[in-house]
């Protein structure tokens, strides 16, 4: 829905540096104490689940940041399906470097693959419909970039990245501002004064609020926790004059019916807050 270019090499590198600093601290004492500096080793990623791969490109970047001399050979790429027993990659080089990078690589890949798999499964359920699957800001602090990246890999669409790249007037904004009309009018004035070219979306809870948002002139209207019958009425009223997003408690059991209402987007917070991390492990192999 938005085009924020958050997946820059600089942003990815910044995440890796911060995450490694958190994990390594003053030194990987277990590895430094038990593994000779010159020991060469090899390890493979063993996959213990079925799903969709996400995080392989990131894993390579993590290993490279820890030790540019490590040799990383993926056998599965981001966006590829895998099954229990598959080998995801092989990495070889200094044993110390492999061990130091291990947990960060696994933490990222397990979570990202879980999100990509959930996203892919839900996207498949609405294949052929107009509606596209959206993520939300219901993400893990400091991990949002990777979670939204995983949604992309799984076939979903990213909503706004943060509070800065799109206006989203939620129920509390509307209540504090004294209604939809007041909230939108004040926001448009603010954007004009600040010379900001941003889309405005308004959350609505009933058809009356949909009409008010439509009259206020916004770019998108969110239909929050509405019944399918009300969503169909909203689609009729809006008549393609702005985008419509269905949201609120959407599951694999309800997403098809909602897509059939004719909305443009369906946002699912569970993509990034209720996914299941997939089981993977890094295992040493003999050279």
Instruction: Express each pLDDT in 139-160 by its tens digit.
Output: 999 999 999 999 999 999 999 9
Give the mean pLDDT of 154-176: 97
Q: In a 3-state reduction of DSSP, which class is residue 235?
A: helix
Band the pLDDT of 1: cuts 50, 70, 90.
low
Q: What's the CA gap between 43 and 157, in Å, rounded?
A: 34
CA angle 130, 135, 138 (to 5 degrees): 155
CATH fold of 9-113+276-285: Aldehyde Oxidoreductase; domain 3 (3.90.1170)
How would residue 4 be classed by pLDDT, with cut points 50, 70 and 90? low
* pLDDT above 90 (res 287): no
Cβ–Cβ under 8 Å, residues 228 and 206: no
Burial of 279 (0-12, 13-18, 19+ CB in 10 A): middle
Q: What is the DSSP string of 132-198?
A: EEE--S---TT-HHHHHHHHHHTT-B---SSSSSSEEE-HHHHHHHTSHHHHHHHHHHHHHHTT---
Query: What is the Cα–Cα distance from 62 to 224, expressed in whole angstroms?
Result: 39
Q: Catalytic residue positions?
A: 103, 138, 170, 203, 224
Higher pLDDT, 227 or 4: 227
pLDDT of residue 228 exceeding 70: yes
Q: What is the mean pLDDT of the chain?
A: 97
pLDDT, average across residues 165-174: 98
User: Where does residue 57 fall: left (phi above 0), alpha (psi -120 to 50 degrees), or beta otherwise?
Assistant: alpha
The mean pLDDT of 205-225, rounded to a whole number, is 98
Specify the pTM: 0.96
Q: Does pLDDT of 3 surpass 70?
A: no
CATH topology of domain 124-273: TIM Barrel (3.20.20)
For residue 81, pLDDT over 70 is answered with yes
pLDDT in tens, 25-73: 999 999 999 999 999 999 999 999 999 999 999 999 999 999 999 999 9
Q: Where are the domains of the chain?
A: 9-113+276-285, 124-273
């Amino acid at each position: 829905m938005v085009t924020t270019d958050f997946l820059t090499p600089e942003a990815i590198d910044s995440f890796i540096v911060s995450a490694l600093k958190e994990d390594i601290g003053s030194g990987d004492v277990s590895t430094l104490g038990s593994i000779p500096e010159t020991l060469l080793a090899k390890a493979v990623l063993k996959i213990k689940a079925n799903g969709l791969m996400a995080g392989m490109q990131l894993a390579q970047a993590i290993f490279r940041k820890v030790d540019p001399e490590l040799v990383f050979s993926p056998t599965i790429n981001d966006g590829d399906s895998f099954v229990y027993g598959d080998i995801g990659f092989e990495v070889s080089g200094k044993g110390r470097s492999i061990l130091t990078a291990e947990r960060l690589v696994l933490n990222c890949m397990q979570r990202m693959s879980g999100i990509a798999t959930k996203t892919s499964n839900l996207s498949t359920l609405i294949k052929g419909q107009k509606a596209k699957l959206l993520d939300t800001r219901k993400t893990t602090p400091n991990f949002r970039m990777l979670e939204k990246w995983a949604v992309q890999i799984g076939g979903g669409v990213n909503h706004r990245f943060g509070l800065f790249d799109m206006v989203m007037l939620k129920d509390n904004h509307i209540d504090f501002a004294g209604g939809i009309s007041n909230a939108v009018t004040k926001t448009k004035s603010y954007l004009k004064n600040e010379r900001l070219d941003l889309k405005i979306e308004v959350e609505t809870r009933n058809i009356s609020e949909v009409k008010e948002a439509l009259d206020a002139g916004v770019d998108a209207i969110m239909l929050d926790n509405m019944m399918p019958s009300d969503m169909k009425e909203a689609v009729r009223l809006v008549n393609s004059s702005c985008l419509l997003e269905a949201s609120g408690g959407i599951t694999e059991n309800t997403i098809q019916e909602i897509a059939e209402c004719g909305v443009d987007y369906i946002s699912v917070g569970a993509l990034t807050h209720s996914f299941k991390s997939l089981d993977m492990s890094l295992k040493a192999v003999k050279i």
